Amino acid sequence: MPIHDLGYRHWKGEWTSHPYRWWVITRQGIQLLMKRRRFLVLMILSAIPFVVRGAMIYFATVVGASAPFLKINARFFEDFISQQMFFAFFIAIYAGAGLISNDLRANALQIYFSKPITRRDYVIGKLGVLVWFLSLPTLVPGLILFLLAVLFAPDTAFLREHYWVPVSVTAYSLVMVLTFALVILTLSSLTRSSRFAGINFAAVFFFSQILYGILSGILRSRRVAWVSLGNNIEQLGDTIFRIDPRYPSPVWISVVVVLVIIGGGAWVVHNRVQAVEVVR
Amino acid sequence: MNFSPFPFVIHAESCLLIIELDNINVRFGTQKILDSVNVRFSGGSAGLLGPNGAGKTTLLNTLLGFIEPESGTGRVLGCDIRKEQLGIRQKIGYMPENDCHIPGMNAVSYVAYAGQLSGMKPKDALRRAHETLFYVGLGEARYRNVETYSAGMKQRIKLAQALVHDPELVFLDEPTNGLDPKGRMEMLELIRDISSTKGIHVVLSSHLLPDVEWVCREAMVIHKGRMLASGNIEDLKRGSGAVYEVRLKGDGSGFADKLEALGCRCTRNEDGVLRIRMAGGLDSRTLLEAARDGRVQIRHLVPLRQSLEDVFLQVIGESHADS
């Protein structure tokens, strides 16, 4: 560019349409996280179970090994996604804890909302970052594993018996992804410290599990499994995959708990995200 | 200070007003922050003046749609402030008062991101980001992380993100805060250039009167949430009456009493010099007549050039007297 052009010039380009404005936020969030080496390592580690499961499918279908743990059925896919909850937990902390809290700390919301961006765009944009990164170790490999199982199967019997599994994989993954995403986003919107948000997320997860342990010990019953965040997700996973629920607590309670977490979280985040904080 | 006329300014009342507010009231709890504010801004550059806590930032936030007024109507660039907030934000740029940035980015990424949030395509936004950063004087530092910037650089990058999408109007909230004298002058020169040669309307909110006087053609004085005066700065200066500095031989209290009876305002400084603000329509002849009638001798009579500060203090003073 010639030196005389390095000044202010008017711009007469085309505008993008507003309905996709949230994608700008999501894309930027993804790009920023992808630059962090530690996060990339975490994402790569989260792919190891996928590789192992892929090998299991290969051995079970192509080689013909018949060990009981190599049985490819609905439980195989459910176990895989449940197993990925471990990585989803750390990814949620790493990717989500600073998503809103860092913006609050840097007073970035004034910048966002001085642009043609609504609060809904902002929340969906930030949620999109988490949905993207939490889907990578759950939904995406779950669907790929199913595809592998279909491709390696000697006939169409597997597909005829398990045609509904992709829907279950999607549904169970979304339950986990949305629950984790909204809990961490809520906590992130309540503080200016990403570290504090991350610690709180871990506390919510483990405290609810400890509470379940204490209550089930006192009451000598596992019917209180719904007090644990992780148990509720697993309980719903069992139901979605048409497997006997692992806890005796009613499934509808887990549905309500998860819906309250998702809905309440979305409400809190939407209300916490303001261009200016007005003290009334 | 003399200002050259601004060629793009729309003077006619019948033309579209850039900002038009009618009886805007904003209340936070029981406290009224904006009280029946009326604004007519036809374009160019306007200073929003007022002491700290006067309601300047609240007024800007209302114009941006961040705060919904309790009552009243308003339009910015033809868009309703209640219903068409996104339309307004598409056309305006906003430089907030406090330190703010989007964390984890260098200057180019940050400004390009601001452009994309405004609706520019990524390629266009990136190109514009480079241009804008050169324009505000951050060309050499554009690959540095914004969090490492000095206070002056942070002010400049806030201006860059406000300009990246080529807005029709920019709201600048205390743009010279935290700047050293050199940085302040550079920032003011930039703002003056934006409004005078780039054809972008500017609303500059500041409590620093010289900044407004240096950059703006119009001024709006706000105090305790009420718009006390607005209009062309030169007109405001003329409208506030002529001011004279007078030194008398002797006491001259009768002289001052007579002038005050005519509606003039007299203040005496430590050296005994009288500063007299003439009532409307009166001039230096009135002073001479008052001296003759009071049998006092005028030793020194100098007409003072009115500054915006004089206008501001007068308007604020009158407001206190009224309340």
Contact status of B196 with chain A (Cβ, < 8 Å): no
Sign of the Cα torsion A205, A206, A209, A215 reads negative
Contact status of A44 with chain B (Cβ, < 8 Å): no
In a domain, B316, yes or no: no
Asked if A6 and B134 come within 8 Å (Cβ–Cβ), the reply is: yes
pLDDT of A115: 95
Region A163-191: what's the mean pLDDT?
97
Partners of residue A276 in chain B, C-beta under 8 Å: 61, 66-67
Structure tokens at B267: 């203040």
Structure tokens at B229: 């005066």
Regarding whether B288 and B225 lie in a shared domain, the answer is no
Partners of residue B166 in chain A, C-beta under 8 Å: 10-11
To probe the interface with A, which of B63, B113, B200 has the most A CB atoms within 10 Å?
A: B113
Q: What is the pLDDT of residues B244-295, one digit of tens each?
A: 889 988 777 788 888 888 888 888 888 888 888 887 778 888 888 888 888 8
Largest alpha-carbon pair distance within chain A? 80
Partners of residue B67 in chain A, C-beta under 8 Å: 276, 278
pLDDT of B105: 93
Contact status of A13 with chain B (Cβ, < 8 Å): yes
Asked if B61 and A28 come within 8 Å (Cβ–Cβ), the reply is: no
To probe the interface with B, which of A32, A111, A277 has the most B CB atoms within 10 Å?
A: A111
Regarding whether B269 and B192 lie in a shared domain, the answer is no
Please say whether the beta carbons of B319 and B305 come within 8 A: no
Buried b (16+ CB within 10 A) or exposed e, B65-77: bbbebeebebbbb
Asked if A16 and B120 come within 8 Å (Cβ–Cβ), the reply is: yes
Partners of residue A14 in chain B, C-beta under 8 Å: 121
To probe the interface with B, which of A94, A99, A115, A126 has the most B CB atoms within 10 Å?
A: A115
In chain B, which among 70-109 make CB contacts under 8 A with chain A? 86-87, 89-90, 92-94, 96, 98-105
Q: What is the pLDDT of residues A100-142, one digit of tens each?
A: 999 999 999 999 999 999 999 999 999 999 999 999 999 999 9
Regarding whether B172 and B95 lie in a shared domain, the answer is yes
Regarding whether B284 and B219 lie in a shared domain, the answer is no
Partners of residue B131 in chain A, C-beta under 8 Å: 5-9
Contact status of A30 with chain B (Cβ, < 8 Å): no
Closest Cβ opposite residue A16 in set B28, B29, B119 = B119
Cα B77 → chain centroid: 19
> A275 to chain B: nearest residue by CA?
B66
Chain A nearest-CA distance from B158, in A, is: 9
Please say whether the beta carbons of B187 and B175 come within 8 A: yes
- The Cα-based distances of B273 to A68, A183, B276, B296, B298 in angstroms read 105, 70, 10, 14, 11
Chain A nearest-CA distance from B172, in A, is: 12
In a domain, B166, yes or no: yes
Asked if B113 and A9 come within 8 Å (Cβ–Cβ), the reply is: no
B215 lies in which domain range?
19-237
Domain of residue B260, CATH code: 3.30.70.100
Contact status of B124 with chain A (Cβ, < 8 Å): yes
Region A203-209: what's the mean pLDDT?
94
How many domains is chain B partitioned into structurally? 2
pLDDT of B239: 65
How far apart are alpha carbons A216 and A211 in whole angstroms? 8
Regarding whether B246 and B232 lie in a shared domain, the answer is no
Sheet with B297-304, strands from edge to edge, namely B265-268, B274-277, B243-249, B297-304
Closest Cβ opposite residue B114 in set A32, A115, A280 = A115
ipTM score for this prediction: 0.89
Asked if B66 and A108 come within 8 Å (Cβ–Cβ), the reply is: no
Please say whether the beta carbons of A32 and B104 come within 8 A: yes
Residue identified by tokens 């992709």 is A166
Mean pLDDT, chain B, whole residue set: 87
Strands B19-28, B31-41: pairing kind: antiparallel
Chain A nearest-CA distance from B100, in A, is: 5
How far apart are alpha carbons B133 and A34 in whole angstroms? 26
Chain B nearest-CA distance from A27, in A, is: 10
Asked if A16 and B121 come within 8 Å (Cβ–Cβ), the reply is: yes
Tens-digit pLDDT profile for chain B (323 aa)?
Answer: 333 444 444 444 445 789 999 999 999 888 899 999 999 999 899 999 988 888 999 999 999 988 999 999 999 999 999 999 999 999 999 999 989 999 989 999 999 999 999 999 999 999 999 999 999 999 899 999 999 999 999 999 999 999 999 999 999 999 998 889 999 999 999 999 999 989 899 999 998 888 999 999 999 999 999 998 888 888 887 766 678 889 988 777 788 888 888 888 888 888 888 888 887 778 888 888 888 888 888 888 888 877 788 778 777 777 666 66
Chain B nearest-CA distance from A155, in A, is: 48
Partners of residue A118 in chain B, C-beta under 8 Å: 86
Which secondary-structure segment (H or E) carries B221? strand B218-223
pLDDT of B244: 86
Please say whether the beta carbons of A184 and A200 come within 8 A: no
How far apart are alpha carbons A258 and B77 in whole angstroms? 45
pLDDT at A209 > cutoff 90: yes
Region A16-39: what's the mean pLDDT?
93
Domain of residue B201, CATH code: 3.40.50.300
Regarding whether B87 and B205 lie in a shared domain, the answer is yes
Under the banding of pLDDT at 50, 70 and 90, the label for residue A277 is low
Regarding whether B162 and B95 lie in a shared domain, the answer is yes
Partners of residue B127 in chain A, C-beta under 8 Å: none
What is the dihedral angle through the alpha carbons of A231, A232, A234, A235, rounded to the nearest 10 degrees?
Answer: 110
Contact status of B120 with chain A (Cβ, < 8 Å): yes
**Closest to B225 measured CA to CA, from B69, B60, B59, B39:** B59
In a domain, B4, yes or no: no
Size of interface A-B (CB pairs under 8 A): 117
Domain ranges for chain A, please list them. 39-59+72-272
Cβ-count burial of A271 within 10 angstroms (0-12 exposed, 13-18 middle, 19+ buried)?
Answer: exposed
Buried b (16+ CB within 10 A) or exposed e, B177-187: bebeeebbebb
Regarding whether B163 and B93 lie in a shared domain, the answer is yes
Regarding whether B278 and B223 lie in a shared domain, the answer is no
Chain B nearest-CA distance from A90, in A, is: 20
Asked if B117 and A107 come within 8 Å (Cβ–Cβ), the reply is: no
How far apart are alpha carbons A91 and A97 in whole angstroms? 10
To probe the interface with A, which of B79, B85, B102, B133 has the most A CB atoms within 10 Å?
A: B102
**Which has the higher per-residue pLDDT, A234 or A68?**
A234
To probe the interface with B, which of A11, A39, A109 has the most B CB atoms within 10 Å?
A: A11
DSSP character at residue B279: P
Structure tokens at A49: 């179970």
> B172 to chain A: nearest residue by CA?
A114
**Closest to A30 measured CA to CA, from A74, A95, A81, A91:** A95
SS3 assignment, position A124: helix
Strands B169-173, B31-41: pairing kind: unpaired
Structure tokens at B242: 């002529």
Regarding whether B168 and B52 lie in a shared domain, the answer is yes
Question: Which residues neighbour B89 within 8 Å (Cβ) at sequence distance 6 or greater?
Answer: A113, A114, A115, A116, A117, B64, B65, B118
In a domain, B287, yes or no: yes
Q: What is the pLDDT of residues B68-82, one digit of tens each?
A: 999 999 999 999 999
